[in-house]
Homo-oligomer: A and B are copies of this chain.
Amino acid sequence: MERAKFLLEEKDMPTRWYNIQADLPVPLPPYLHPGTKQPIGPADLAPLFAMELIKQEVSQERYIDIPEEVQEVYRLWRPTILHRAYRLEKALDTPAKIYYKYEGTSPPGSHKPNTAVAQAYYNKKEGIKRISTETGAGQWGSSLAFACNLFGIECKVYMVRISYNQKPYRRIMMETWGATCVPSPSPDTKAGRDMLAKDPDCPGSLGLAISEAVEDAVSRDDTHYSLGSVLNHVLMHQTIIGQEAMKQMEMAGDYPDIIVGCIGGGSNFAGMYLPFVKDKILGKKPNLRVINVEPESCPTVTKGLYAYDYGDVAGMAPIAKMFTLGHGFIPPPVHAGGLRYHGMAPIICHLHKLGFVEAQAVPQMATFEAGITFARAEGIISAPETNHAIRVTIDEALKCKKEGKSKVILLAHSGHGHFDMAAYEAYLSGKLQDYAYPEDMVKAALKELPEVSAEYK
């Protein structure tokens, strides 16, 4: 009997998050204030985030304890399973050994609650009664709704209007968990009202939804704001994935030659690879390859500029040093909504600049082809975002076949596609298309980067 799954008991679940900042050979560049363009301090962030999260954002401690209350929630679905993809290997006829760590068994169906639960907990502890956030396709909004419900916090989600109308199921999921979800632009904020006055039929955008959620939070004493990716503390909360995977790979008697995952803001995949990259930074695994996969139509790391830029369209969020396509860039409407972001987690960008990780961009059609292959071999119908990682996993496995090498590939599988079946339908019926990289739009957007002083260039 071949062992197809590697389980961890709850007692073996990691009890600390891993903070890569303790092991970086060069420290991260600081965030800058969007107004003053000077390094930002805790007081600047206090209206938005719980103080413990602000501390975690800049902490240099290698490990931070996961509070028991958060562990208790994690145990509803964690530790997640590490699968050996025997059927996929067989379908590809490859000598490669493919493993995947599957985050789709969480109630909202992805990795997102790993940080949503932690953020809700710290806010609750600091007396916050209400959290606002934005969501595009709804993965993040539903995860925060799930988390807030468990800690008795009110949750208000501004969902990009076009998604709100096209994907009602994610909204109903949020409501099932007791959250309020409104289409953005909404009449509930000044930013929303201004836009509605200009264009009552505005389909909305993630940038605008962020502006609404931030305005909501700063205008109310009982409310904080929550972000589902990009920030250091968010990536750190996700390291529970990679720490579990390390234990499970050890059970399997293997260590990955290649780790593959998709990046939008970057939290899921960084959560997987940061504990492994530590081995590379420390010189223990110099040959480990980490491949960040992004859409060809939104190729932040592969084609973007490494520069200081705003995290949001309106320029209200802190300025971060990152690969960016320009904060005004609106990516083409690929189905992988979670990968449509102009920037990238500063930690990922920093590691890329230091040469510890690499990046690759893939076209949409090829990702769905890979997703279908995976579904027919392993059963799981994956999220369109995950299909990007599956594409490169399959490509690397086929390279192994060509070269007759039995490499160990570890895939970060971020979630299922149960709410993305319309995208599969489009692919299966021949209605899906690739989008060329909109080079001119990016060029224009990159002209609008904020001016920062020479020391931050």
Q: Can you report 22 A-B residue pairs in the complex whose CB atoms are below 8 A from each other?
A: A1-B11, A1-B68, A1-B71, A2-B72, A4-B75, A7-B9, A76-B83, A77-B379, A106-B379, A107-B379, A146-B379, A149-B376, A168-B425, A172-B424, A173-B381, A175-B424, A175-B425, A176-B372, A176-B381, A177-B375, A178-B376, A418-B418
In the complex, the answer to whether A424 meets B9 with C-beta atoms within 8 Å is no
Q: Tell me the smallest distance from the CB of A446 to a CB of chain B, in Å.
A: 38
Instruction: Give the residues in chain B near A176, CB-CB below 8 Å.
Output: 372, 375-376, 381, 421, 424, 428
Residue of B nearest to A86 (CB): B72
Instruction: Give the residues in chain B near A375, CB-CB below 8 Å.
Output: 107, 176-177
Residue of B nearest to A149 (CB): B376
Q: Tell me the smallest distance from the CB of A8 to a CB of chain B, in Å.
A: 9
In the complex, the answer to whether A425 meets B172 with C-beta atoms within 8 Å is yes
Q: Tell me the smallest distance from the CB of A370 to a CB of chain B, in Å.
A: 13
- Confirm or deny: A105 has a beta carbon within 8 angstroms of a beta carbon on chain B: yes
State the CA gap A424–B9 with chains docked (Å).
33
Checking B106, B168, B172, B381 against A107 with a beta-carbon cut-off of 8 angstroms, the contacting residue is B381
Give A189-221 interface residues, CB cut-off 8 Å to B. none
- Confirm or deny: A141 has a beta carbon within 8 angstroms of a beta carbon on chain B: no
Q: Tell me the smallest distance from the CB of A9 to a CB of chain B, in Å.
A: 6
Instruction: Give the residues in chain B near A169, CB-CB below 8 Å.
Output: 418, 421-422
Instruction: Give the residues in chain B near A376, CB-CB below 8 Å.
Output: 149, 176-178
- Confirm or deny: A23 has a beta carbon within 8 angstroms of a beta carbon on chain B: no
Chain A residues within 8 Å of B, Cβ to Cβ: 1-5, 7, 9-11, 68, 71-72, 75-77, 83, 87, 105-107, 109, 146, 149-150, 168-169, 172-173, 175-178, 372, 375-376, 378-381, 418-419, 421-422, 424-425, 428
State the CA gap A9–B1 with chains docked (Å).
12
In the complex, the answer to whether B76 meets A379 with C-beta atoms within 8 Å is yes
In the complex, the answer to whether B75 meets A5 with C-beta atoms within 8 Å is yes
Copies of this chain, whole number: 2
- Interface hub of A107, A379, A418, A428 (most chain B Cβ within 10 A): A379
Residue of B nearest to A84 (CB): B75
State the CA gap A375–B379 with chains docked (Å).
25
Further pairs besides A5-B10, A106-B379: 17, Cβ < 8 Å = A2-B72, A3-B10, A4-B72, A5-B75, A7-B7, A76-B378, A107-B375, A107-B380, A107-B381, A169-B422, A172-B422, A172-B424, A176-B372, A176-B375, A176-B376, A176-B381, A176-B424
Residue of B nearest to A4 (CB): B75
Instruction: Give the residues in chain B near A75, CB-CB below 8 Å.
Output: 4-5
- Interface hub of A1, A172, A173, A178 (most chain B Cβ within 10 A): A172
State the CA gap A139–B332 with chains docked (Å).
34
Residue of B nearest to A427 (CB): B176
State the CA gap A106–B83 with chains docked (Å).
14
State the CA gap A109–B380 with chains docked (Å).
10
Residue of B nearest to A423 (CB): B172
Residue of B nearest to A380 (CB): B107
Residue of B nearest to A175 (CB): B428
Q: Tell me the smallest distance from the CB of A164 to a CB of chain B, in Å.
A: 13
Instruction: Give the residues in chain B near A10, CB-CB below 8 Å.
Output: 1, 3-5
Residue of B nearest to A74 (CB): B4
State the CA gap A347–B4 with chains docked (Å).
34
In the complex, the answer to whether A76 meets B418 with C-beta atoms within 8 Å is no
